[in-house]
A and B are shown apart, each in its own frame.
Chain A
Amino acid sequence: MTKTALPHWNMNPYFPGLDSEEFTLAYKALVERIAELGELFEGNAIRKTESLEVNETNVAILEKAIEFLNDLSEELRLVGAYIASFVSQNSRDDVAQAKYSQLQMESVALSKLSTRFTAWVAGFDVDSLIQKSQIAKDHEFMLHRSVVAASYQMSEIEEDLYSELVVTGARAWGRLHNNVSSRLLVEVPAKGKLPMAAVRGLSQDPDPEVRRNAYDSELKAWASVEVPMAAALNSIKGEANVVNARRGWNDSVEPSLFNNNIDRQTLEAMQQAVVDSFPDFRRYLGAKAKFLGSESLAWWDLFAPVSRESEPKRWSWDETIEFITSRFGAFSPRLADMARRSFDDGWIDAEPREGKADGAFCMGVRKDESRVMLNFVQSFKSVQTLAHELGHAYHNVNLADRRALQRSTPSALAETASIFCESIIFHAGLEAASDAEKISILENYLQNTCQVVVDIHSRFILEKGVHEGREKRELSVDELKDLMVDAQKQTYGDGLDQDALHPYMWAVKPHYYGASYYNWPYTFGLLFGTGLYAQYLEDPEKFRAGYDDLLSCTGMEDAAALTARFGFDIRDTGFWRSSLDIIKGRIDEFEALV
C-alpha cells in the first residue's frame, strides 16, 4: 500500500491567488460594501434614537439593514479566511500580513457601524418588531440581545473615539505581548539558543533533566522581559476597567458572562463543582509523580510523557482517515460523510513545515465549507486533534442554513461539537488499545483535562485579582508573581511541589492580553461536551435526533435554554458534577494502572 503524503489545503475554489484579479476585486467590493453600509446608516439615521415607532418604514429599514449586515458578513468571512489561510501557512508572508493588517483597519469602520446598529435596535419595542416582520422574528435572539447590549454602551461619540484609541491602547499592548514572546530567544544548557515556543515544548521531553533545564531557562527568560509584559497586562486590564465602568458593568466578569450568553448563577455552579473536583485531580498528579519516581510533581513534570510502550504507535495519514471516518460513521452517516468530504475536497492542512503557525484551528469559509489546520505528527494525540477540529467543521455544516447574525456562537458553546468528536475518538482509541497503550492515552486525556479544569481556574483567579488590584493602581512585577503563585496554590494545592510552581504564567498565556476571562468558557465547553457524550451513550437514538438541531441553534438561544433541550440544568452544580464524575472515573483508572 502506498503511503499518502500529509495534505495541504486547497484554497483554489475561492480565488486563484492573493494577487489575482479576482481576489483584488472581491477585496475592493468588500471595502465598497462597508462604505455603502455607512451610507445606508447615515441615510436612515441608524444610531441611538429614543422610542422608535414600529411602522412600515422603520420595519423596512430594519429588514434592509439586517440583510445588508448578513450579506456583508459572508463576504468578510470569505475574504478574511482567504487571507488567514496564507498568514497561518507562512508567518513571514509579508504581502499576506500587510493585507491582514489593512483588513483589520477596514473592520474598524464596520465595528463602529455594528455598535450603532445595536444602539438603534434598542430604540424599538422588539416584541412588536417580531410580530410585524418575519425577518425580525428570524433574528429574535439577536434583537433581544441588542437591547441589553445597548444598555451597556457609552454614548456614540465615546464608542467612536474608543474604537480608534483601542488600536494604540489595548490592541497595541496585546501585539507587544505577542511580538516580545515570539521573538524571545532562550539560552538552554546543552541546547543553545531556542525560541520560547520550542523551550516550552521541551516540557514534554522524556528526559527529566531536559525538562528541568528548560523550566529554569524559561523563567530566567521571562524575567528579562518582565517590564514590558507587566506594562502590557496592567494597561490592558486598566483600560478594560475604565471602559467597563463607563459602559455600566458592575464588575470585570459581567461582560464575559454576557458575551457567552450565560448567567452568573451558571458560572458559580460550574466553578463550585470545579473546585470540589480538585482533590481528584490532585490524586491524578500524585499518581503521575509516583510513576515518574518523585514525591510530588514539579511544574516541569506537568507535561512529562507517561508511557510504558517501548515504541509508541505511529499513525499513518491513511490509517487516520480510515479510523476517523469509521468511528464517526458509528455515530452518524452525516458526520462520516462530512469527514470524507473534508479529506477529498482539500479542507485539511496537516503537514508541519517551516513558518507554519503552531497549534490547530478550524475556520468556516463559505456556506457549509470549512478549512482545518493542524501539525500532524503521527501520534494518537494528533488523531484526536484532527477529530476535534473536524467537530468544529461539523458545527459549521449545521450552521450553514443560518444567516450570519443567527450564527454568532459564544466561545462557551463553540467547543461543543469539537469536544464531542474528540470524545468519540478518545473512547474508540481507548477500547482498541493494549494496556501499555492505554496508560499513555489516559495520560494525554488527563493532562489536557487537568489544564482545562485546574489550570484554567488558576487563570480565572489571577485575572480577577489583576482586575481588582488594578482598580487602585498598577501592579508591580512582584505583585503579579505573588498573585500567580497564590492562584496556583489555590488550585493545584499539594498536587504540585509548592516550591516548584510557575510565577510567570501571567506572561506566558496570550489570553490575558486580549478580551477578559478568555478562560472559563473552555472549562464550560469541556464539561458540557463531556455531559453530552454521556447522554449519547445512555440513549443514542434520542441523542442523534436532537444533536444536529442543537448545533444549528448555538447563535439563537442562550446556553441555559439550549442545554435544557437535553434535560440539563446548567444552573445546578449537580450537572457539572456528573461531567466531572466521568473524568474522575478516568482518574481512578489511571491510578489503578500506575
Chain B
Amino acid sequence: MAVTGSDQALPTWDLSPIFSGIDSKDFEDEFSALRDEIDALVILFDKDQVGATDADLPSGTTFDEILTGISGLSDRIEVVYAFIYGSVSTDARNAKAQAKLSELQEYLVELSKLGTRLTAWLGSFEPDRILEASIEAKASEFFVRRAGFEARHQMSLQEEDLAASLSPTGASAWSKLHTNITSTLMVDVEFDEGVEHLPMSAVRALAYDSDERKRETAYRAELRSWETVEVPLAAALNSVKGTGNVLNSRRRWDSSVESSLFLNNVDAATLEAMQQAVVESFPDFRRYLKAKSRKLGKRSLPWWDLMAPLGSHGEGWTYARAKEYILDTFATFSPRLAGLAKTHFDSDWVDVGPRDGKRDGAFCMHVGKGESRVMMNFEPSFNSVQTLAHELGHSYHNLNLESRSYIQRETPMALAETASTFCQAVVFSAALADATGEQKLALLEDSLQDASQIVVDIHSRFLFEKAVFEARQIREQSAQELNEIMLWAQDETYGDALQADARHPYMWAVKGHYYIPGLSYYNWPYTFGMLFAFGLYARFTQDRDGFPAVYDELLSSTGLGDAAELTSRFGIDIHSVEFWRSSLDISRSQIEEFERLIP
C-alpha cells in the first residue's frame, strides 16, 4: 500500500495470538471453562473449609492446592480480561466485547470473595507453621505473611459483610456523586471573544494554553464554578473520610496513613525518610517556579501559570522517528530492553494512532506469560515519544515477572511505576543531552512541571488529606473550612513561589483521588514511584555495566517483599534520607540548568 506523509496509517495491535476473536470458538471455550474453574475452586474452598477458623493446621498439600488453585485461576482470568478490555478500549462500539466485560465482572466479584476467604484462612495460623508445611506457601512467603497481617486488620466476618453491603449506598455512592457532578459540570467562560459554555475538563485543560489571558480567564471561571457545587462535594468528601475513619478504627489501624502504607508494602520509616527529602527540596522547586515567573515577567507565579508551556519541542516527531529514537536510547541501557521494544514494533504489540471509538490516554496490559500490549494515542510530538517509552517500561516490568506466579507478581502501586518512569528517564536524558535553545527549555519545563506536581503538589495533597481525616474525627468540615485547609497545604508546600492571592482553594473538589472509598492517600505512592525510579536511574549512571542485571532482578521481585526489604537485597536503603536526596538531585540539576537558561 502506498501511503505517504502524515496520512501514513499508524499500526493497530494484533490480539489474535491470544484468541482468534471475541466471537471465536477458542475464546468462547476458555470463557465458559473459566466459569467451571471458578465453581470448582469454590467447591475446593468449601471442602478445605477456607475461611477464618479455629481448626488445626491443615496439611501442606491442602495449602498447596489452594494456593496453586487461586493463582492459576487468576492467571487465566487476567488473560481473558486483557483480551476483552483490549477489544473494548480500542472499539467502544464492540457490543459483544462490552457484554462479555460486564459478564466477567461477576467472575471478578467471585474471585475477590475467594480472596477475602483466603486472607482470613491464612491469617488463622502461625505463618511460620504454614511455610514449614507447604512448598507453595514457602515459594510465596511474602503473600502468606502479608495475608496474616491483613487478617489481623479485618473486622469480624459479619461486620465486613455489612460494611460491604452498605458501601454501594455509602462511600461508593458518595464517590460516584463526585464523579457525576464533576463530569457533567458546565462552565461559562467569558473570553474576550465572547462567553463559551464548556465542560469542566475542557476549562481545566486551558491551563496548558499558551495564551495567558485564556489561562487566567479559565482559572477564574473554574473557581466560580466549583463554588456552585461545593455543598454536595463537601458532603461527599466528609462522608467518604468519615466512613474511612469508622472502618479504620474498627479494623484496628492506628492512623489513617497506616492502611495506605500496608497497601503499598511500604513502612512508616520509609515514608518519613522520603517526605523529609521531599520537604528539603521545596526551596529548590520554588527556585524553579520563580525562574518560570521571571520568564513570564512576574515576581511570583499565579496558579494559572503553573502549567503554562515554555520553549518549543520542534517538529518532525513522526511515529517512525519515535520508534527509531526509542530503540537507540533503550539500547544505551541494555540490548534486552531494546529487544523488547523491537518485538513490540515488529509484532504489532502496540496500538498507536487515535481513532473514533478508541479510548483516551495510554496503558500497558499483561496478556500472559510475560507478554504485553501497549495502547496509546500517538500525536507527532515529543510528549508522545515519552508516553510510548513509559508504557514500554511497564511491558519490560511484565517481562521480568514472567517466571512468577500470580500471587508472586502482585505489585503495589508505589512500585508499579518504577520501570515506566525509569524508561521515561532513559529517553529524557538522551533528548536533553542532544537539545539546545528553545528545545532544551521545553524539555526542562516539561520535566520540571511534572516533577513539581509529583513532589510539591502531591505533598500538599498528602497534608490536606491527613488534616481532613483528623478534623473529621471531631465533626464535619464545611466547604469553607476545606478551602482553608487546602490553602494552608499549598502554602506549606509551594510557599512564596505561588502568588498568595492566586492559589487554588478548591483542589479538594478537583481530584478524584480523595473520594475513592477504602483507598486513602492515593498521592504519596506517585512520589515514591517517581523518586524510586530516579534513584535507580542515578545508580545506573554510576554503574552502566553492572546495573542492568540488578535492575532486572529487582523488577522480577516487586511482589516478593516489602519495599524496604526488597531494595535492601540490592544494596539500596530506602530508609535513608540520603537515597531520596540522590533522586531529587536529578531534579535539582535540571532546576540549575533551567535557571541558567532564564537569567
Residue ranges of A at the interface with B (Cβ–Cβ < 8 Å):
98, 101-102, 105, 154-155, 157-158, 161-162, 164-165, 167-170, 172, 175-176, 179-180, 183, 227-228, 231, 234-236, 238-239, 242-243, 246
Contacts and interface: CB of A to CB of B under 8 A. Distances in A.
Given A157-B156, A180-B232, A234-B173, A165 B246 contact: yes
Contact of A183 (B159, B165, B231): B231
Given A161-B155, A165-B170, A235-B170, 12 more contacts: A98-B475, A102-B475, A155-B158, A158-B159, A161-B159, A168-B242, A172-B174, A228-B231, A231-B173, A231-B177, A238-B173, A242-B169
Contacts of A157: 156, 158-159
Interface string B480-504: 0000000000000000000000000
A169 B177 contact: no
Given A101-B475, A234-B173, A242-B166, A172 B232 contact: no
Given A234-B173, A235-B169, A172 B242 contact: yes
A393 to B, nearest CB: 34
Contact of B180 (A165, A231, A236, A239): A231
With a 10 A CB-CB cut-off, give which of A175, A231, A239, A243 has the most chain B CB atoms.
A231
A211 B165 CA distance: 45
Contacts of B159: 157-158, 161
B238 A172 contact: yes
Contacts of B475: 98, 101-102, 105
B169 A169 contact: yes
B181 A239 contact: no
A172 B162 contact: no
B173 A162 contact: no
A239 B165 CA distance: 9
A291 to B, nearest CB: 41
B250 interface: yes
Contacts of B166: 162, 165, 169, 239, 242-243
Contact of A168 (B168, B231, B232, B238): B238
Nearest to B170: A169
A98 B474 CA distance: 11
Contacts of A231: 173, 176-177, 180, 232
A192 B238 CA distance: 33
B181 A167 contact: no
Interface string B166-195: 101111011011001100100000000000
B239 interface: yes
A242 B232 CA distance: 24
Nearest to A160: B159
B243 interface: yes
A164 B155 CA distance: 14
B184 A168 contact: no
B169 A238 contact: yes
A161 B232 contact: no
A261 B97 CA distance: 53
Contacts of B168: 238
B163 interface: yes
With a 10 A CB-CB cut-off, give which of A101, A154, A158, A175 has the most chain B CB atoms.
A158
Interface residues of B, number: 31
Contacts of A227: 177, 180-181, 184, 232
B235 A176 contact: yes
A180 B171 CA distance: 19
B235 A172 contact: yes
A243 B170 CA distance: 13
Contacts of B171: 168
B232 A176 contact: yes
Nearest to B161: A158
6 contacts: A158-B158, A161-B163, A168-B240, A231-B173, A238-B173, A242-B166
A320 to B, nearest CB: 39
Interface in B394-431: none
A225 to B, nearest CB: 8
A158 B166 CA distance: 11
Contact of A165 (B163, B176, B177, B238): B163
Contacts of A234: 169, 173
Nearest to B478: A179
A99 to B, nearest CB: 12
A255 B168 CA distance: 22
Nearest to A164: B246
Contact of B181 (A168, A183, A228): A228
Contacts of B239: 168-169, 172
Contacts of A243: 166
A242 B177 contact: no
Given A168-B171, A175-B235, A162 B243 contact: no
A228 B170 contact: no
A176 B237 CA distance: 12
A23 to B, nearest CB: 20
Contact of B162 (A98, A101, A105, A161): A161
A157 B250 CA distance: 11
Given A154-B162, A161-B155, A165-B243, A228 B232 contact: yes
Interface string B340-375: 000000000000000000000000000000000000
